[in-house]
A and B are shown apart, each in its own frame.
Chain A
Amino acid sequence: MQYSQKVLDHFMRPRNVGKMEDPDAQATEGSPACGDQVTVYLKIDEESKTIEDISFLSYGCASNIATASIITELAKGKTLDEAKKLSWRDAMEALDGLPPVKVHCSVLAADTLQTAISNYEIAHGLKEVPNFGKDTIVEELKKIIYPQVGEDIVSLKMVKYVGFDNGDVLIDMNMMSFDEWRENVAEEIREHLSKYPEVKNIQINFP
Chain B
Amino acid sequence: MNPGKIYLDNCVTTPLAPEVLEAMRPYFSERFWYPSPFVSTGEATSSALSGWHEAIAKTLNATGPEIHFTSGGTMANNIAIKGLAWAHSSTGKHAIVSVVDYPDLLTNAAWLEKQGFEVTYLEPDSDGLVSADKLKAAIRPDTILFLSTIVNHVVGTIQPIEAYGRVLAEAGHRIFWHADAGQAYGKLPLDVRALGVDTLSISAHKIHGPQGIGALYVKSGIKLAQVIHGVNRLDPLQTGGLSLALIAGFVKAAELTFADLDATTNKLRELSDHLLQRLESTIPEIELNGPRGEGRACHNINVSIAYIEGEAITMMLDMQGITVATGSACASQGLKASYVLMAMGRNHVQSHGSMKFTLSRYNTKEEIDFAVERLAEITASLRQRSPLYRSTHPEEK
Determine whether B390 belongs to the interface, using a CB cutoff of 8 Å to chain A: yes
B385:A58 contact, CB within 8 angstroms: yes
> Nearest-CB distance from A176 to chain B (Å)?
17
B331:A101 contact, CB within 8 angstroms: no
A65:B348 contact, CB within 8 angstroms: no
Indicate with 1 or 0, residue by residue over A133-160, a CB within 8 angstroms of chain B CB atoms.
0000000000000010000000000000
Q: Mark out the residues of chain A between 1 and 58 whose CB falls within 8 Å of any chain B CB in the assembled complex.
A: 11-12, 14, 17-19, 28, 32-39, 57-58
Q: Given the complex, which residues of B lie within 8 Å of A75, measured CB to CB?
A: none
Determine whether A180 belongs to the interface, using a CB cutoff of 8 Å to chain B: yes
> Nearest-CB distance from A192 to chain B (Å)?
15
Determine whether A184 belongs to the interface, using a CB cutoff of 8 Å to chain B: yes
Q: Considering the chains assembled together, what is the distance between the CA atoms of A36 and B386 in angstroms?
A: 10
> Nearest-CB distance from A197 to chain B (Å)?
22
Q: Mark out the residues of chain B between 277 and 336 whose CB falls within 8 Å of any chain A CB in the assembled complex.
A: 307-309, 311-312, 315-316, 319, 328-331, 333-336
A14:B311 contact, CB within 8 angstroms: no
Interface residues on A, range: 20 to 34
**Contacts A35-B352, A101-B335 known; A61 to B347 CB distance under 8 Å?**
no
Query: Pick the contact of B308 from A19, A59, A180 — CB < 8 Å?
Result: A59
B334:A11 contact, CB within 8 angstroms: no
B348:A36 contact, CB within 8 angstroms: no
Determine whether B384 belongs to the interface, using a CB cutoff of 8 Å to chain A: yes
Determine whether A60 belongs to the interface, using a CB cutoff of 8 Å to chain B: yes
Q: Given the complex, which residues of B lie within 8 Å of A62, measured CB to CB?
A: 311-312, 315
> Nearest-CB distance from B387 to chain A (Å)?
4
Q: Given the complex, which residues of A lie within 8 Å of B190, measured CB to CB?
A: none
Q: Given the complex, which residues of A lie within 8 Å of B388, measured CB to CB?
A: 32, 37, 59
Determine whether B84 belongs to the interface, using a CB cutoff of 8 Å to chain A: no
Q: Considering the chains assembled together, what is the distance between the CA atoms of A33 and B388 in angstroms?
A: 12
**Contacts A59-B308, A184-B334 known; A37 to B387 CB distance under 8 Å?**
yes
A59:B328 contact, CB within 8 angstroms: no
Q: Given the complex, which residues of B lie within 8 Å of A105, measured CB to CB?
A: 330
Query: Pick the contact of B385 from A28, A65, A104, A147 — CB < 8 Å?
Result: A65
* Least CB separation from A33: chain B residue: B348
A36:B319 contact, CB within 8 angstroms: no
B387:A28 contact, CB within 8 angstroms: yes
Interface residues on B, range: 20 to 34
Q: Mark out the residues of chain B between 342 and 397 whose CB falls within 8 Å of any chain A CB in the assembled complex.
A: 347-349, 352, 384-390, 397
Q: Considering the chains assembled together, what is the distance between the CA atoms of A85 and B293 in angstroms?
A: 56
Determine whether B337 belongs to the interface, using a CB cutoff of 8 Å to chain A: yes
* Least CB separation from B332: chain A residue: A101
Q: Considering the chains assembled together, what is the distance between the CA atoms of A91 and B139 in angstroms?
A: 55
B335:A60 contact, CB within 8 angstroms: no
**Contacts A59-B388, A60-B330, A61-B330 known; A35 to B337 CB distance under 8 Å?**
yes
Q: Given the complex, which residues of A lie within 8 Å of B312, measured CB to CB?
A: 11, 60-62, 64-65
**Contacts A33-B348, A59-B308, A62-B315 known; A38 to B387 CB distance under 8 Å?**
yes
**Contacts A12-B316, A35-B330, A180-B334 known; A17 to B385 CB distance under 8 Å?**
yes
Q: Given the complex, which residues of B lie within 8 Å of A58, measured CB to CB?
A: 385-387
B contacts, CB < 8 Å to A:
307-309, 311-312, 315-316, 319, 328-331, 333-337, 347-349, 352, 384-390, 397
Q: List 19 A-B contacts (CB under 8 A).
A: A12-B316, A14-B385, A35-B337, A36-B330, A57-B387, A59-B307, A59-B308, A59-B386, A59-B388, A60-B312, A61-B311, A61-B330, A62-B315, A64-B312, A64-B330, A65-B312, A101-B335, A102-B330, A105-B330
A contacts, CB < 8 Å to B:
11-12, 14, 17-19, 28, 32-39, 57-62, 64-65, 101-102, 104-105, 147, 180, 184
| 18 extra A-B contacts, CB within 8 A, seeds A19-B397, A37-B388, A58-B385 | A11-B312, A17-B384, A17-B385, A32-B348, A33-B348, A34-B348, A35-B348, A38-B387, A39-B387, A57-B386, A58-B386, A59-B389, A61-B311, A64-B312, A101-B335, A104-B335, A105-B330, A180-B334
